Amino acid sequence: MKHILSTVLVGFVLGLIIVMTVFGNVVVCLAVGASRKLRCVTNCFIVSLAVTDLLLGLLVLPFSAIMELTGEWPLGAIFCNIYVSMDVMLCTASILNLFAISVDRYFAVTAPLRYPLLVTPVRVAVAMVLIWTVSLMVSFLPIQMGWNTLDGIVQNFGKDDDEKSCDFEWNPRYVLVDGFATFYLPLLVMCVTYYRIFRIAREQARRINSRPSVSLAAAAREHKATVTLAAVLGAFIICWFPYFTFFTSMGLRKVTKYNKTAYSVVLWLGYANSTLNPILYATLNRDFRAAFGRLLCGKKVCPAPPPNLSAPPPAEFVLLCAHTTGCREESSVETGLALQQTNGSTLTVTTDAADGLSLEAGSHSQSASMEGAYTTSEPISISEKSLRKTPEQNNNTALYLLQDSA
């Protein structure tokens, strides 16, 4: 009776993970297809991540759940190796997409004026090809050739017909190459990029909220930025670090008989990251939330109030969605970028799909608030080229990407 209850409980948890993974990533894909605002280069990695996690939920997780519940693999050695290869490929592609998103957001926050030059459709396409090439190189190729096993023989062949198992074997060289290329190096880069993004966001909040009257608001925004980054990076580390620690340790020690229960726990913890990705990387984006509302509720989301130039944007917008303003080119609503320079002057760059770029300039004392800044009566038109000539300005500028009206 106790065994039956534990099996039912495990089946319920695994089924919930599968359903949530499929549902969340299907909604992300449908939202992009239904919203013109979301169909842009800057969301390619989000869509790629959603498609990868969706395939994982459809092609891998059901078979993993069957093996967990029955303890058997009924489809033979050939399909077993295809399943294992698919598992490794999709998990690797998911992790590398998260890595690409962190680099994309790093460029969006640290080099906003040069971002359209750095992140082009061609470069995004090249990055996507590299992601899937690396994923194939560490999955189908070594597993089908037997490069991952200790004896060099393709795994799962040569067993008795009555032995219905599906094993994933490792040798030291394979775990070092696979672990470094698909987890440890991406983890290091993600920690550096998100730390740098957090530093910039914190400096911006402190600079624009230097007045005592808004110090509490600045502290609240700093706290929100910290929580947001902790959720994004923490979820990745919590989900995948235990698996790769187990994977690397067993492979380096050439252990072939390991604790199956421990392996199942760390493996499904890694799978759970694909369940969390739609929440962390899509629903924190305002445009995605609006699209979700239209898909799930069948109604338009209430429009947001006009942006307030005296207040910085929400922390999650700076950290997670700073690059998505490029998706709104087809909207007639203008997007403002307020750049508060360290010398006390203020520049407001306004972009519009029809009119291009314009610049309004004003000056005020260092102690004055942004509300007190004045601008010229006539906008000064500037070219995008002239903005690109001063990339060094980014190092002395607190950038605020202000959300436009939905």
Residue entry with tokens 């209850």: 5
AA letter at 267? L
Tens digit of pLDDT for each residue in 214-229? 556 666 666 666 677 7
* HSE-up of residue 293 (Cα within 13 Å, Cβ side): 12
Taking the alpha carbons of 179, 180, 182, 187 in that order, is the dihedral positive or negative?
positive
Give the containing element (helix H, strand E) for 290.
Answer: helix 286-297
Q: Which residues contact 100 (CB under 8 A, 6 or more apart)?
A: 45, 48, 127, 131
Provide the pLDDT confidence category of residue 16 given band limits of 50, 70 and 90: very high
Across the range 103-117, mean pLDDT stands at 89
Report whether pLDDT(276) > 90.
yes
Residue spans per domain, the chain? 2-159+170-296, 315-401
Strand order in the sheet with 345-352: 380-381, 356-363, 345-352, 335-341, 397-401
CATH class of 2-159+170-296: mainly alpha
Alpha-carbon distance of 353 to 387, in angstroms, equals 17
- Give the C-alpha separation, 162 to 306, whole Å: 68
347-352: long-range contacts, CB 8 A cutoff, minimum separation 24: 348/309, 348/375, 349/387, 350/379, 351/325
Whether the per-residue pLDDT at 338 is higher than 80: the answer is no
Is 254 a residue whose pLDDT tops 60? yes
Single pTM value for the model: 0.76
What are the angstrom distances between the C-alpha of 80 and each of 39, 76, 295, 305, 390?
37, 6, 38, 55, 56
Torsion angles phi and psi, residue 15, rounded to 5: -65, -40
Model confidence pLDDT, tens digit, residues 46-96:
999 999 999 999 999 999 999 999 989 988 889 999 999 999 999 999 999
With contact defined as beta carbons under 8 Å apart, do 42 and 323 qualify? yes
